[in-house]
Amino acid sequence: MKIKIISCFIIALLLSTTLQSQAVYNMGEMQKEKLGRGVVALRENPSEVVISWRYLSSDPESTAFNIYRDGKKIAEVPANAGTFYKDSYQATMATTYTVIPVVDNKESALLTGSYTLPANAPQGYINIPLIRPADGITLAGEQYDYSPNDASIGDVDGDGEYEIILKWNPSNAHDNAHDGYTGNVFIDCYKLSGQRLWQIDLGKNIRAGAHYTQVMVYDLDGDNRAEVVIKTSDGTVDGTGKVIGDANADYREPGNPKNQGRILTGNEYLTIFNGETGAAMQTIDYMPARGRLEDWGDARANRSDRYLAAIAYLDGVKPSVVMCRGYYTRAVLAAYDWDGKELTQKWVFDSNTPGNGDYAGQGNHNLRVGDVDGDGCDEIVYGQCTINNDGTGLYSTKMGHGDAMHLTQFAPSMSGLQVWSCHENKKDGTTFRDAATGEILFQIPCPEDVGRCMAADIDPNHEGLEMWSWGSGGIYNVKGELINENMVGLPTNMAVWWTGDLMRELLDKNFITKYDWEQGVCNRIAEFEDCLSNNGTKANPCLQGDIVGDWREEVLIRTEDNNSLRLYVSPINTDYRFYTFLEDPVYRISIATQGVAYNQPTQPGFYFGPDLTGSFRGYNFDKKK
């Protein structure tokens, strides 16, 4: 048994008034993914198989489901049960599970789904074998090898199910502050079966590190097939073997130890790739352009090569891709639309533009996207400032750069969206602000650099999400009240909805913990054996989010030998049935931007937790409590 389930809590619901969502998107007009049923099956132990599937907003509330094993019906799941089933079955060969919706006592073939559990499938996870890039040697004679790093998801072939787009990092990847050569960065596309569809080699003129390559995966033109957008350069090789630009160009700084391996000059491109084949469909000059290095804060590309990226529904209808550069000093964001044939620039925001001075130096090592001002269009929360959907500045807190932040509706009684963020300026500590105006709702000052913060609903005795950080001195509720000074063993890196209740669990390294609010401590409830996290102290998996199955989240993590990914699916039963979070734009984009620089966990554009009442995303608490 490769995943150890140690404990599980059942949470009682607290009565409160709730709002469905704080954004006012026109969901009827908005271009959305065509999601399939997301059926997944995994062997929990030798005699039990877990089956989980999606409940969609297009399903009537009265929808029941029939489950078939190799064509034989084995279960009827009623409309008041979760989309989860355990089959007592000891398979010795490949087994196909099919889930068919039942409406008005009749099976509907409109959106069925199936999954074939392989013979001798491992217990507790889906194994995804990888083709690891070959080891290499730098110009300085240093050896390096590869490990799977950040991943994203997208339906690249139009079948309604996600493929995995994976970034391979060389072992000599560097932070911008460090000199040295790096190996090439590779981007692969895999199906869950382990079939590799393509590989892109970004080439020697794209340096490896958390801040250089932000991979955007999304269906931008509405053809039900995701595209892939990446910063490229001369020598990038697409998924069909075609070279972009000059294959012989080499912009790496030679010998000089001060800048060795850095890329200070040369062409920079933005390329949109076909998600199914990896073919480069269009390449344009990268915007924001490098220009003079000194204009970004130094002459060594430490400041100029800080890249971010996002997907955003800037017009409330179609998704755009936003490519960004800089956040310590100058910050520039450029938005693009893709119509299937051409990338068209929508707008550019530049902190150097007269009147935008307050927006310089406000960016984070990540960003968030959501409709913060209620106009039905997305804004970009760029650290301590927010850029409006039309490419103008909305506001700046002027508190400067930070490492982490969280955007969601923090409590059902709160209007709009809020932001919890930490600060590096050794004075402002951690702040809780209104996402629409930047108004500080409460603040915990700190004379140190606060590098991490977390927000998750972990205590049902207090309304809404709880918040804490490295500099908070304890856990706070949305009123700014300290509710627990003890933070020993309380992670600040990632979070995940894993158990069958409405609380959120905490994900750190290769294990999940659950907060015991009565004892004020975290207990380990799951461990992913023989697996490793990524990105040093950030200790995140390749991806965390709702990838398959019911409304809960999965963990995609690499194995210790770097030869496989494992997709862990919760084996814990849940009686709750919610429409998949993937249909919420804020949540879906939080998956698309999760791996941008310093990874942050998913969060929806609405409150979710034990304070829910009434009818909520397909679940009626009043009927079922």
**pLDDT for 73 beyond 70:** yes
Element (H, E) at 187: strand 186-190
Where are the extended beta strands (E) located within 40-112?
A: 40-45, 48-52, 64-69, 72-77, 84-88, 95-103, 106-107
Instruction: Give me the pLDDT at residue 622, please.
Output: 82
CA nearest neighbour of 570 among 99, 40, 12:
40
Rounded distance, CA 320 to CA 314, Å? 7
CA nearest neighbour of 217 among 587, 569, 597, 594:
594
Distances in Å between the Cα of 329 and the Cα atoms of 212, 351, 357, 428, 548 are 17, 9, 10, 18, 40
Instruction: Give me the pLDDT at residue 24, please.
Output: 78
Q: What is the pLDDT of residues 104-154, one digit of tens each?
A: 999 998 899 999 999 989 999 999 999 999 999 999 999 999 999 999 999
pTM, rounded to two decimals? 0.95
Mean pLDDT of 398-418: 96
> What is the band of 18 on the pLDDT scale with cuts at 50, 70, 90?
very low
Mean pLDDT of 506-535: 96
Mean pLDDT of 596-603: 97
CA nearest neighbour of 332 among 286, 287, 379:
287
Instruction: Give me the pLDDT at residue 270, please.
Output: 98
Are 606 and 624 within 8 A, CB to CB?
no
Q: What is the pLDDT of residues 157-193, one digit of tens each?
A: 999 999 999 999 999 999 999 999 999 999 999 999 9
> What is the band of 223 on the pLDDT scale with cuts at 50, 70, 90?
very high
Rounded distance, CA 300 to CA 264, Å? 7
Across 17-26, 95-104, 199-208, 270-279, least confident range = 17-26
Tokens for 366?
Answer: 């990540």
**pLDDT for 21 beyond 50:** no
Distances in Å between the Cα of 174 and the Cα atoms of 184, 210, 260 are 12, 8, 12
Q: Among all chains, which residue has been given the structure tokens 């490793």?
A: 532
Which one-letter amino acid corresponds to residue 136? G
**pLDDT for 508 beyond 50:** yes
Q: What is the pLDDT of residues 288-319, one digit of tens each?
A: 999 999 999 999 999 999 999 999 999 999 99
Q: Among all chains, which residue has been given the structure tokens 């790093």?
A: 149
CA nearest neighbour of 403 among 450, 473, 351:
450
**pLDDT for 9 beyond 80:** no
Rounded distance, CA 219 to CA 444, Å? 40
